[in-house]
Amino acid sequence: MPAADATVGAQARAEAKHGFSTFRSLRHRNYRLLWIGTLFSSSGQWIQQVTLGWLAYDMTGSGAILGAVNGLRSLPLLFLGPFGGVAADRFDKKQLMFTTQVFLMLTAALFATVIVTGHLQVWHIFVFSAATGVAWAFNMPVRQSIVPNVVPREDMMNAMALNSAGFNVTRIIGPTLAGLMIAKLGPSENFYLQALAYLGVAAMVVQLR
């Protein structure tokens, strides 16, 4: 029995040493910043999608317009995603991610201001949807490609799994927050919240080493 206990103890120590735990990748500072930033950024993305759809339908009552808005956000990801991957390989990853986050922050703040001032028209929604879709087409590939630079190889699968889990969590949290904020505050606050989230992510990107 002592030998068996020693074996079990040695195995437990080995697992602890190698970090065989669900969140072991978060022990790496740079990945932790990246992961938290991904939660904020993805939440903002889902808040944006729900709020844009609500605005489009509230203004027009048209299902076709609603579909067009969603299409304008999604098509750039489909057609420009490969170019985003090339850009992630060719240019400085940290700078590219920072640039896209700042762009998303500025466009969200500008769009919120258009709503607050009462100048919103349907074409504004179209332009904003397309612009953010283009930004995400470059942001998402670089966000994925930077993971190998911030975690060692043995933690790579865990890091990718945490990325996927975090994204799925935000698919629930983001739309829920969007609906609550539309009901309690109005759509403009949703976009200001997005801008604040994107600003926080940009600040985290700056801290990556």
Closest CA to 24 of 173, 202, 151, 172: 151
Cβ neighbours of residue 185 closer than 8 Å, sequence gap 6 or more? none
DSSP calls for 77-133: HHHHHHHHHHHHHHS-HHHHHHHHHHHHHHHHHHHHHHHHTT---HHHHHHHHHHHH
pLDDT in the model for residue 20: 52
pTM recorded for the entire structure? 0.83
Confidence of residue 108 (pLDDT cuts 50, 70, 90): very high
Q: Which tops the pLDDT comparison, 111 or 81?
A: 111
- Condensed to tens digits (0 to 9), the pLDDT of residues 1-31 reads 444 444 434 443 444 454 457 888 888 899 9
Domains of the chain, CATH where assigned: 28-207 (1.20.1250.20)
| pLDDT at residue 131 greater than cutoff 80 | yes
| pLDDT at residue 139 greater than cutoff 60 | yes
Closest CA to 91 of 147, 163, 142: 142
Task: Tell me what the pLDDT averaged over the chain comes to.
Answer: 86
pLDDT in the model for residue 167: 87
Taking residues 61-85, report their average pLDDT: 90
| pLDDT at residue 161 greater than cutoff 50 | yes
Taking residues 167-174, report their average pLDDT: 90
